[in-house]
Amino acid sequence: MYGLGVLLYELLTGGPPFPRAELRHPGLMEQLRVVRECEPKRPSERLTPGRRALLGIGNHHTTALAELDWLVLKCLEKERARR
């Protein structure tokens, strides 16, 4: 389920839930800590106007954006039981 959330996030925003700059910290353990403990930004916060147009989502589609955010972030829940 988590992998599906990552895929949906990338399809919507054009990038991974955790920007590569955040994961460039030294060491694998720090990268794992970021993924385990930090929450990604909502996909709607990362959508550029060009990406919104490509997806056919206008600024007036706030309900659709909220639902997409909920769906993607539910798949990315840290606790397996909450996914």
Give the total number of structural domains in the chain. 1
Residue type (1 letter), 24: R
Residue-wise pLDDT for 24-81, tens only, equals 877 889 888 888 999 999 998 888 777 777 777 766 677 778 888 999 999 999 998 9
How far apart CA 83 and CA 71 sit, in angstroms, is 10
How far apart CA 31 and CA 33 sit, in angstroms, is 5
- Nearest CA to 65 out of 75, 76, 52 is that of 52
- Mean pLDDT confidence for 8-18: 91
How far apart CA 12 and CA 68 sit, in angstroms, is 9
pLDDT score, position 46: 86
Residue span of the structural domain in which 38 resides:
2-82
pTM for the whole structure: 0.78
- Matching residue, tokens 């403990």: 37
Instruction: Show the tokens assigned to 23.
Output: 């994961």
